[in-house]
Structure 1
Amino acid sequence: MLIDDIIYLVILLICVGFGEVFRGIKEPITKQWVSTCFGILVSYIVSGVHVIHPILCTIITAFLVVYLPQR
């Protein structure tokens, strides 16, 4: 269990350091894509291939919200 705790701590420190880089991004679209990609990367590092399920659920839900008619 110790190695998992070390990995978790390293990921947290990387996220804190990434905040400095993230604050330097001025363009909103770039900021959106960088945060999305970084979030997916961190999720993949933490969860492995199990991150596929929430990503698919999000894509399917977004599709349903956009393309199904309102009641």
Structure 2
Amino acid sequence: MFHSGDDGRYRKVCNSKNKDSSFCKFYHLTFHVCTHTTTRTHTHTQTHMHAHTQAHMHIHTNTQMRTDFIKPMLSV
């Protein structure tokens, strides 16, 4: 992932006469995609974690009744 520090270095190099080089075109595309992806992933992760937490609580509730059966297996 690229961070704001990487963006600063990109701007220093690519705002100069090198801005049309293949490196700068690639870097700009990669940075833009990574920034966009990071934002979307963060939103998706929040949604996923919420859904996962709900599902986990149901599983945990069902498992709780079998704790006495599971504990001896874990202590071996």
Flag whether TM exceeds 0.5 (same fold): no
Greater helix percent: which structure?
1
TM-score by length of 2: 0.32
Higher relative contact order, chain-length normalized (CA < 8 Å, sep 6+): 2
Name which one, 1 or 2, has greater alpha-carbon Rg. Answer: 2
